[in-house]
Amino acid sequence: MIDQSIASLAKKLRDKEISSVELTQDYLARIKQYDGQLNSYITITEEIALAQAEAADKQLAQGAASPLTGLPIAHKDLFCTDGILTTCASKMLHNFVPPYESTVTGRMLASGTVTLGKTNMDEFAMGSSNEKSYYGAVKNPWNLDKVPGGSSGGSAAAVAAGLCVAATGTDTGGSIRQPASFCGITGLKPTYGRVSRFGMIAYASSLDQAGPMARSAEDCAHILQSIAGFDANDSTSAEVDTEDYTANLDAPLTGLTIGLPKEYFGDGLNNDVASAIQEAVKEFEKLGATVKDISLPNLNLSIPSYYVIAPSEASSNLSRFDGVRYGYRCEEPKDLMDMYKRSRGEAFGKEVQKRIMVGTYALSEGYYDAYYLKAQRIRRLIKEDFVKAFEEVDVIMGPVAPTTAFGIGAKTDDPIAMYLEDIYTLSVNLAGIPAMSVPAGFADGMPVGLQIMGNYFSEAKLLNVAHKFQQATDWHTKNPSLVEGA
């Protein structure tokens, strides 16, 4: 059961081959058996899951099911879930039980999904390795000595290990795509504004976007269908109609033009990763696509631009954590200032404090123009590179990350090296375009992700391109031994 698609599980539920309660019990048993090693969940909501599964079985019996009804899924612990602990993997929110539901989780509930629990992540989504969680590092199911990527590392590890059918993630600078790549699953970061940010604990509001992490592009399409669309509660939600994301998955790729930016294949890219990506591109040529060499000349500037804009917005967003209305408060504050400083200093991790301070500095008097505005001007140059490229090509392809998953602890002493790992993903968030990570082979036994980037609101096209690749290859069906043993 564990490695089946959403469509096939949905059919089994409809045909009464299995009930949602049975399926949910299977997943809960797997979580108990394996998550001690992986640490992919922060909270397991067993009772809630079983009650939701019972309700789903009733809906299925009445013939009123959506394609997701009764399917056990997990949510990144950054989405507010009404009545369920939501920590953002921080001591700051170790006791926070939201009194309201995020739009993403609310729409998934309305589609009849069963919530198995909340997944681990880098604290406040700041990290690329999932080592920076207050609840401990997550392990990569393909090799327990390696990181799963981040910040949505718990979601990626849980999907890869068969500890949920699919999961939600969020992507501010690569936090869906890079862990999807490292764990050998499929992930989609939609166009900025495609999915509501309401009830997502904010990191960098002009970059944050939620999306699906699953076993295939087809599965991602089903989840996106549930969560995408305008939401009046998010002031930057796009007033653009959604598409039927599963309708054209099988459309032929004849005539598709793929752009290969030379900047994605330069120094720093691991040779084995490069080979896997080149093989994948050949597969697309067999499917009728043509390849064109292009350039995104400002790619290198995405790192400085991002590491000013994201911390600046974080510095502003995280000012809400003041020990007054929710979250951690220090013991016996002597006055208001002491309470603010010690509550924040004691409850935020070091990486979070560092990014807050970078942002505070960049926004402070005398530096705002040289840092924040400069970064935003460069952001426009990066966007224009993509706009120009999409005049010539339909999609852009390259690696998601320069290497496969690295060892736990390997980069903790060199945070800048960790930032440089994000080189292929950051520009997508700065431009606001959609992009996917699709399993495309292995290097040294670890999964390699192919990145497919598309024009604004071209999610249906991206899913079509990824799905056709997955019909022609079987990389996405490979499982770590944890799953094979099931």
472 binds other proteins (CB under 8 A): no
**Shortest distance (Å) from residue 192 CB to other proteins:** 5
**Shortest distance (Å) from residue 326 CB to other proteins:** 4
**Shortest distance (Å) from residue 181 CB to other proteins:** 23
Cα-flanking dihedrals φ and ψ of residue 331, to 5°? -75, 135
**Shortest distance (Å) from residue 121 CB to other proteins:** 20
Among 448, 371, 6, 435, smallest CA distance to 194 is for 435
387 binds other proteins (CB under 8 A): no
Residues 173-192 interacting with other proteins (rule: CB under 8 A) = 191-192
Cα-flanking dihedrals φ and ψ of residue 473, to 5°? -130, 170
**Shortest distance (Å) from residue 215 CB to other proteins:** 29
**Shortest distance (Å) from residue 194 CB to other proteins:** 10
- C-alpha–C-alpha distance, residues 152 and 77, integer Å: 9
- C-alpha–C-alpha distance, residues 373 and 366, integer Å: 12
CB 408 within 8 A of CB 145: yes
* One-letter amino acid of 155: S
Sketch the per residue contact string, 298 through 337, with other proteins: x for CB under 8 A, - otherwise. Answer: --xx-xxx-xx--x---x---x--xxxxxxxx---xxxxx
For the annotated catalytic residues, the residue numbers are 76, 151, 175
66 binds other proteins (CB under 8 A): no
Give the SS3 label for residue 392.
coil
474 binds other proteins (CB under 8 A): no
CB 60 within 8 A of CB 14: yes
Q: List 261's β-bridge partners, or say none.
A: 294
Which position has the token pair 């007033």?
239
CB 81 within 8 A of CB 102: yes
Residues 205-224 interacting with other proteins (rule: CB under 8 A) = 206
43 binds other proteins (CB under 8 A): no
* Strand-by-strand arrangement of the 167-170 sheet: 41-44, 114-119, 72-76, 167-170, 210-214, 186-189, 435-443, 446-454, 395-399, 257-261, 290-294
CB 209 within 8 A of CB 224: no
Residue nearer to other proteins on the CB measure, 193 or 447: 193
340 binds other proteins (CB under 8 A): yes
251 binds other proteins (CB under 8 A): no
61 binds other proteins (CB under 8 A): no
147 binds other proteins (CB under 8 A): no
Residues 350-379 interacting with other proteins (rule: CB under 8 A) = 350, 353-354, 356-358, 360-361, 364, 370-371, 373-379
Q: Kind and range of the H or E element at 360? A: helix 350-363
Residue nearer to other proteins on the CB measure, 257 or 316: 316
Residue nearer to other proteins on the CB measure, 51 or 333: 333
Residue nearer to other proteins on the CB measure, 10 or 308: 308
434 binds other proteins (CB under 8 A): no
Residues 391-410 interacting with other proteins (rule: CB under 8 A) = none
Cα-flanking dihedrals φ and ψ of residue 253, to 5°? -95, 10
Residues 68-127 interacting with other proteins (rule: CB under 8 A) = 95-97, 99
- C-alpha–C-alpha distance, residues 320 and 415, integer Å: 26
* Binds other proteins (CB under 8 A): choice among 148, 149, 259, 432: 432
CB 130 within 8 A of CB 138: yes
Residue nearer to other proteins on the CB measure, 14 or 329: 329
Residue nearer to other proteins on the CB measure, 286 or 325: 325
Among 156, 82, 150, 80, smallest CA distance to 121 is for 150
**# residues contacting other proteins (CB under 8 A):** 73
Residue nearer to other proteins on the CB measure, 144 or 373: 373
279 binds other proteins (CB under 8 A): no
Which position has the token pair 């013991």?
331
203 binds other proteins (CB under 8 A): no
238 binds other proteins (CB under 8 A): yes
* Binds other proteins (CB under 8 A): choice among 135, 456, 469, 475: 456
CB 124 within 8 A of CB 352: yes
262 binds other proteins (CB under 8 A): no
- C-alpha–C-alpha distance, residues 32 and 117, integer Å: 12
Residue nearer to other proteins on the CB measure, 99 or 255: 99
Q: Kind and range of the H or E element at 27? A: helix 20-38
